[in-house]
Structure 1
Amino acid sequence: MELILQQVLNGLTLGGVYSLVALGLTLVYGILHVPNFAHGAFYMAGAYAAFVLMGKFGVNYWLAMAGAAVVVALLAVIAERLVFHPLRNSPGLHHMIAAIGILLFLESSAQAIWGADFHRMQTPYNGIMNFGGLVMPVQRMLIIVAAFGLMVALHLFLKKTTTGSTIIAMAQNRDGAALVGIDPNRVAMLTFAISGVLAAVAATLYAPINLVYPAMGHLVITKAFVIIVLGGMGSVPGAIIGGLIIGFAEAFGAFYISTDYKDIIAFVLLVAILSVRPEGLFTKGVR
């Protein structure tokens, strides 16, 4: 039972990180209707921003997380204004190519500045708690609490605020939202900013357990795409549930099968579920 509970803890940790990244990805998809391949680079940029703020400037962990969120939100908004907005009337393929260009630019910039070496981010929460024989690293508990707290805050923002309602309206019908007076440019920038914040927070939470390096966003964003396809393209509940499914599948798969196959479990699960439900688990978008 202790081993099973340990895997539940690991599953919640992975699921929380994956869900945060997938939420930002699915929100942007709801506005552009194009997968944002640059989202993994925003995740990487958030980790480096927090790493530099903590390592070079001695900033507190939480302030570094907030600073990274601001930096990546600005990067995302700049990308939307300079790259995606001019392509708003172009075919979806143009958006995808542009997103890959942003990805390559940010990764090359990170490698040019900090090199290709792996860096370890220090955290003040490196202790371990023991509860009834269950080993609970403090950083993992922090990830679970912070990730799911942020998901609840995002849900309340989308459902209970006027600004959140404009994002939902834009995702449901862009032309109809514009006709009733909603500014599509402002909503697009806000959505990109939120996606950047989610990516930066996820990276800052997970980087002390993982490592910081230019290509760190590749595997995470690949799994985030699996999650949003699994949960339904553009579905906020689908991103959360899909992230938890992948997180638990990886944790228990690594324990019962082998850690060597941990990273392919998500894709096997994707094929299995889409064979039964080709439209994904949720199909109502961000309603």
Structure 2
Amino acid sequence: MLDAILSVLILGAMMSAIYALVAIGFTMIFGVGGVLNLAHGGLIMIGAYSFLVVTSSSVFGSITVPTALGFVIAIVVTALASYLLYGGLVRHIEDNIVITFLSTVMIALLLTELVHHQFGASPRTLLPIVDGSLNLEWAGTRINHMYILGFIVSWISIGLLWYYVSRTDEGRSILASSMSERGAQLTGVDLVSVKSRTWLIAGALAGIAGVFLGTLQTTSPSMWLNPLAIAFIIVVIGGIGSIKGSVVAAYFIGYLEQFTLEFLGTGYQGIFSLVVLVAVLLLRPEGLFGREFAHE
């Protein structure tokens, strides 16, 4: 029993850090622009398949790059895809919430069909950035080095984002815009630039998460559905627009899911997260760290 508990604590911390990346990008876009971006899941898939394309010899024959470089390329490609999605589509329709919501859904479905057509429906295996695993005899478990790397990279990314948002003028403009668009404009903030940077950052975080999720789980055209659902649950529980809330809720949901998998089995995965979501919506609909936004 003690070994199982220790395994939950360790693996839960690893997966929660990756979930936090997905949720933070999702909540930043909503916080700044009020856009519920369901194409965010598609960006996760782009990250995983970009990594697959540049590192796997089964895609372009002998043309491959080292996995570390492939990781960087995947992040850049996903960030640019997110940036172009905002500049090429969302920017022009974001005033209409319903049209924007439906458009992001259609983009996610379109990306799924394109990936399905190009790579097929069969799950693919990504090459790990680091091989091997760490044997924790005292905990009775082994941890894949990719889990450890994912934890480290996730927290470095969260730390850099916190520094950027709280310590730089450009970052503070993102925070100001999330609180009040009118107030930000009155202080000279360029909202289009702020929103573009927000989408770029969210895309980079999705790319990081996509590579780790694709390596630790599976890479397939439908791989984005579960992470997006988890991100939505995390964002609602933590408070839509709150980065701190997303981190706290990511760890709560991550540990809850790991506990369920360890002690109840895969058949119950997700059920308790939905129960918590319903409870939060009924008892505290603004979330744990929710706040009011004034965009007018």
State if a TM-score over 0.5 links the two structures: yes
TM-score by length of 1: 0.95
Residue 279 of structure 1 deviates from its aligned partner by 1.7
Identity percentage of aligned residues: 28
SS of match in other structure, 1:208: helix
Q: Does 1:63 align with 2:64?
A: no
User: After the TM superposition, which of the residue ranges 127-136 and 193-202 deviates more from structure 2?
Assistant: 127-136
- So what's the TM-score if we normalise by structure 2? 0.92
CA–CA distance in 2 between the matches of 1:285 and 1:245?
A: 23
Counterpart of 1:158? Answer: 165
CA distance in structure 1 between the partners assigned to 2:165 and 2:262 by the alignment: 37
Q: Distance in 1 between matches of 2:225 and 2:8?
A: 24
Amino acid at match of 1:62: A
Query: Is there any run of 5+ residues in structure 2 with no aligned partner, and where?
Result: 58-62
Query: Within the alignment, does 1:121 sit opposite 2:135 as a pair?
Result: no
* Secondary structure class of the residue paired with 2:215: coil
Aligned twin of 1:15? 16
Unaligned runs of 5+ in 1: none
Counterpart for residue 193 of structure 2: 186
Report the equivalent of 1:101. Answer: 106
- What secondary structure does 2:216 align onto? coil
- How far apart are the structure 2 equivalents of 1:102 and 1:63? 28
One-letter amino acid of the counterpart of residue 8, structure 1: L
Tell me how large the CA RMSD over aligned residues is.
1.5
Q: Give the structure 2 partner of residue 111 of structure 1.
A: 116
1:264 aligns with 2:257: no
Mapped contact 2:68–2:129 kept (Cα < 8 A): no
C-alpha deviations, 1:205-248, integer Å up to 9, x for none? 22211111111001110110011001001110111111111100
Is residue 138 from structure 1 mapped to residue 135 from structure 2 by the alignment?
no
Tell me, what secondary structure is at the counterpart of 1:98?
Answer: helix
* d(CA) in 2 for partners of 1:262, 1:22: 19
Q: Which moved more, 1:45-54 or 1:60-69?
A: 60-69
* Structure 2 letter corresponding to 1:94: I
Equivalent residue for 1:216, pick from 223, 232, 235: 223
- Superposed CA deviations along residues 105-154 of structure 1, whole A, max 9, x for unmatched, are 21111112111111000114231212343322211111111112211111
User: What is the match of residue 42 of structure 1?
Assistant: 43
Mapped contact 2:26–2:202 kept (Cα < 8 A): yes
What residue identity is the alignment partner of 1:112? H
Measured in 1, the distance between the counterparts of 2:265 and 2:246 equals: 26
- 2:35–2:94 contact (8 Å) kept in structure 1: no
| Inter-partner Cα distance in structure 2 for 1:43 and 1:114 | 16
SS at match of 1:136: strand
Contact kept, 8 Å, 2:30 with 2:241, in 1: the verdict is yes
Q: Deviations over 1:148-183 (max 9, x none)?
A: 221111111111111110111111111221222111
